[in-house]
Amino acid sequence: MGAINNDDYPRYLYASSMADRRVSKQVHDNVHGNIYLDPLSLKFVDTEQFQRLRDLKQLGLTYLVYPGAVHSRFEHSLGVYWLAGETIHKIKIDQGSELGIDHFDIQTVKLAGLLHDVGHGPFSHMFEKEFLPKVRHNHNWSHEQMSLKMIDYIVDEHNIEIDPDILKKLKEMIVSSSEDTSSTSLKEKRFLYDIVANGRNGIDVDKFDYIVRDSRACGLTCCFRFDRPLDTMRVIGDEICYRAKEYLTIYKLFSSRADLHRTVYTHAKVKAIELMFVDALTKAHNHLDILSCIDDPAEYWKLDDSIMKHIETTRSEELKESRDLISRIRRRDLYQFCNEFTVPKDQLEYFKDVTPQDIICSQKAGVTLKEEDIAVSNIKIDMTRGRKNPLESINFFKDYECNEKFPIPDERISLLLPECFQDKIVRVYSKKPELVEIVSEAFENFQVKNYGMKTQVHGTPQKKRQKK
């Protein structure tokens, strides 16, 4: 997928005035083409805290499996900024007078798109979802909340003049997908909070950008086109709704996201590398004093992906175990994949994550596996709404003369849509190559003990060798 040519965009993408563009800075993006940064947004971009995003890979350690996945949070943030601006411009052109959209709204939405990821930690979601829960008790840290702290810090540190109401609302928009949005401050123009981080139904420009950008970087075909929903959306009842004819286009948004999770984000080798680096960080965090900076923006902005190279090249004896693990990653001496199984549908609701201790308890008598010999990855892949169809929470309209919004039941669209919208996959690795067969057998015993049969579809490593 090459860069999207400006000629492919609908007319509304040229909505900003020439006067605005004369005072803007132009940046060329390999997905969206020319992006114009307005003066206030540029004040945030030209800070060391925002520039730090250049040193955070969007997909963390995925580039060690997909070599092209070296794009950064910086690129993604510019892309979301641009799409957020084009979305609000489109709504203003179509319904601006009836909705009362003004420059205040446009600036707020664009800044929310620009700054939504400024609080991300090293190596994407791995830092937040895999590393911090291992080393911090009562873990309640999130990159969204850290983004709010970073924004306040940037404004204070660089004396950026910004309307306090814009600052307040842009921060609300960043956390609108993860917090209760029924507060008084969100009742006016609630539809604006659907654009960047949509907690109402999951359709937002953040997904539009990363689905296309990640697919392109990894060399994968992307069947979702964000210009279709952008061109047909309409605000009805203070909510962004979509034309009923675009039902399957919207479905492709969620299915494309799920496909990326399955084939890229949770690729078996990617997870093996992540598990190893989490172990390396866990062993190193006390010496590096990582936890002391994760709540302090003045120190946190100095933390980026270079932490891996620092561990790798230091001579500190305290970091030897971490350094050895990173050397194994570099030499492709990875934790060995033993097997995986998908949790049966009837077990999904009450399923508890499998632990290394569960596997140890299922080993044969006389075997001496230890907990530190095994790594387990419990993977959840869904379409943003757990086991539910995400389209159930989306409202549509019939045509542009209609002011009525309504949901669409699955059976009225296609009988080919799935009945369940979530997978849970348990994947087991041996940290030592010589224990692969023993760990694999213990994992099989675990499945038989809990499900009455082996639910995996792959052969064990021993059986694979026998077939050669």
From CA 62, how far away is CA 235, in angstroms rounded?
Answer: 38
Q: What letter represents residue 368's amino acid?
A: T
Q: What is the CA radius of gyration of the chain?
A: 24
Map tokens 């995996």 to a residue.
456
User: CA angle, 268 as apex, 438 and 217 as ends, to 5°?
Assistant: 165
Q: How many CB atoms lie within 10 A of CB 111?
A: 27
Contacts of 156 (CB under 8 A, 6+ apart): none
Q: Are 190 and 235 in contact (CB under 8 A)?
A: no
Catalytic residue of the set 71, 116, 120, 143: 143
- DSSP conformation class of 262: I
Q: Are 172 and 186 in contact (CB under 8 A)?
A: yes
From CA 441, how far away is CA 461, in angstroms rounded?
Answer: 10
- DSSP conformation class of 13: G
Selection from 193, 213, 215 nearest residue 204 by Cα: 193
Q: How many CB atoms lie within 10 A of CB 174?
A: 28
Looking only at the bridges linking them, the beta strands covering 396-397 and 239-243 are: parallel
Which parts of 178-329 are beta strand (E)?
Answer: 234-236, 239-243
Angle formed by the axes of helices 164-174 and 143-157, to 10°?
A: 160
In the residue annotation, 139 being an active-site residue is answered as no
From CA 336, how far away is CA 15, in angstroms rounded?
Answer: 53
From CA 390, how far away is CA 408, in angstroms rounded?
Answer: 11
- The H or E element that residue 463 is part of is helix 461-467
From CA 169, how far away is CA 176, in angstroms rounded?
Answer: 10
Instruction: Please give the positions annotated as active site.
Output: 143
